Amino acid sequence: MNHETFIAAVALIGIVIVVSSLLSGAVERTGLPQVAIFLLVGVVLGPAGLDLIRINLDSPALEVIATLGLVLVLFSDAIGIDTGEVRQQRRLAALVLGPGTLLPAALTAAAAWWLLDLSPAAAILLGAALASTDPVLLRTLIRHQNVPASAKLALRLESGMNDVILLPIVVLAMLTLGAEAATPGEIGRHAVGLFLLGPALGVGAGWVAITLLDQIRRRVGVRRDYESLYALGVAFTAYAAAEAAGGSGFLAAFAAGLVIAALDVELCDCFLDYGEASAEMFLLLTFVAFGTGLIWTGLPLVTDWRVLVFALIALGGRTAVLLPVLHRAGLDARSRWLIGLFGPRGLSSLLLVLLPVFAGVPGADHLFAITCLVVLLSVVVHGGGIAIYLRRHAAASVAPSASVAAPVNPAPAPPVQAPVTQSAPSSDGAVDGAVSERITIDEFRELQRVGAPVIVADVRTERSYRDDGTIAAGALRLPPDDAVRLAREKRLDQNATLVLYCA
């Protein structure tokens, strides 16, 4: 790498961090498709703009970026799974990940075979890649408070777990499309690596990592922000171990994340608090890399009516399949339509279809171009639809309160009683969101004794809150992902001492 290329790469990373940080609030409020913004950033930096970055299918950097991106997608999806929630909604999970994933893949594969004159294996590979829904485009929708809980769960499960179902289909289809057809013995060895060796090594890596971390926590302690980096290290270690042993590193990373999700709630929460933002930055960087030129290779295919019809089937087939499937789950009509309509294709589809490109499968570049066209259409259709939906519901939630004049100085909230549980831990206190201090139980009781306004807020994540039987008496429940809005709705006294209960 020459000096100019190195400077361009560093600049690219800096631009992604700065732009994503500045736009985070606007994206959260309006639902703007952040992916589209970073694809355009790629255009500006690519050959069509400043010509600072050149990435094509033969670039070694692309394989590194795509591999790390898929590892992060699978690991982040797995560690974000709430196993308790999945157990409670077993039927919904089975429908979304079973027929809700495989039937759209089969429908898309059949359309590819019929319209595009692809071989059965190539059609199956393309159908599986395009059945993957994108967690990056869905993130804003899933976090929105006006989306029903059942719809959030279904979309989280689908975008978080269907990749691990579709990845083996892509890999096995690749084996039959290689320059030299794989023998049954080779297919069997790859199947063992996919379904047994990779997941087993991932489970082992996750268990060892949790055991080691627990011992260090007990003896010397670990900073919370470094626990999130620790989780990322586990993902890459699991991937490397499985690949070195001949297994699937991608499934190993997913299995490691799943073990952490099931056994270590604290590490999950640390990753979601700190590490998830780092992973999201890298995924946005991947979109910039695609935006420099690769993703636009699908645009010339618009002139082929067969490809265009196929793209429409690939985008609409999921809705046609999911609506009757979700009816069996007992969901209300609004939740069914939300789940059925918003299934964007994005980074996951691109990363899956790149696997045969890197393996040198004949015709893989054509499959990649088709996938690029479908993803671009999805960014416009699904991304724009999500933005319109969120803006309408934001306006609806503000409109009723516009006719009611809020008092200039709202009445202070009544004092909250002190925690009375015997095992009540120390709490983190913050005054007006500016200062973070540690407050003891004795200091807390002294504030109450002298009559100072004190508010106790339970700000644990939903998973920690549900799994812990110890709850501070009288504490207000303020989940961290929606704390500001709830605090405003409750009109908390801004002059009170706010004691945050988080452990």
Predicted pLDDT of residue 418: 37
pLDDT at 179: 54
Q: What is the pLDDT of residue 120?
A: 93
* Three-class secondary structure assignment of 97-156: HCHHHHHHHHHHHHHHHHHCCCCHHHHHHHHHHHCCCCHHHHHHHHHCCCCCHHHHHHHH
Residue 462 CA to residue 460 CA, distance in Å, equals: 6
Please give the pLDDT value at position 12: 66
Its sign, for the CA torsion 474, 475, 478, 479, is: negative
pLDDT of 157 strictly over 80: yes
- Residue identified by tokens 């939630």 is 397
Looking at the chain, the whole-number percentage of residues with pLDDT higher than 70 is 74
Q: For position 307, what pLDDT does the model report? A: 94
Side-chain half-sphere exposure of 100, counting CA atoms within 13 A: 30
Residue 479: its pLDDT value, please? 67
Are 424 and 463 within 8 A, CB to CB? no
Q: How far apart are CA 488 and CA 492, in angstroms?
A: 7
Radius of gyration of the chain from Cα atoms?
24
CA distance 147 to 22: 25
Q: What is the pLDDT of residue 158?
A: 86
| Each residue's pLDDT tens digit, 409-448 | 333 333 333 333 333 333 333 333 434 466 777 777 777 7
H or E segment and range at residue 96: helix 90-97
Placement of tokens 């639809």 in the chain: 385
**Residues 47-61, mean pLDDT to the nearest whole number:** 81
CB-CB contact of 34 with 284 (8 Å):
yes
Residue 124 has pLDDT above 90, yes or no: yes
Q: How many CB atoms are located within 10 Å of the residue 44 CB? A: 15
Banded model confidence at residue 239, pLDDT cuts 50, 70, 90: very high
| pLDDT per residue as tens digits for the range 255-269 | 998 888 888 766 666
* Residue 158, CA distances (Å) to 69, 100, 107, 144, 250 in order: 18, 8, 17, 17, 17
Please give the residue that has the higher pLDDT: either 502 or 54.
54
- What value does the mean pLDDT take over residues 442-470? 69
Q: Say whether pLDDT at 397 is over 60.
A: no
Q: At residue 464, does pLDDT exceed 70?
A: no
Question: How high is the pLDDT of residue 271?
Answer: 66
Q: Taking 90 as the threshold, does the pLDDT of residue 407 lie above it?
A: no
- Which residue ranges form the domains of the chain, and what is each CATH number? 3-398 (1.20.1530.20), 427-501 (no CATH)
H or E element in which residue 281 lies: helix 276-291
Q: Is 223 helix (H, G, I), strand (E, B) or coil?
A: coil
3-state secondary structure of 476: strand
Average pLDDT of every residue of the chain: 78
CB 259 within 8 A of CB 320: no
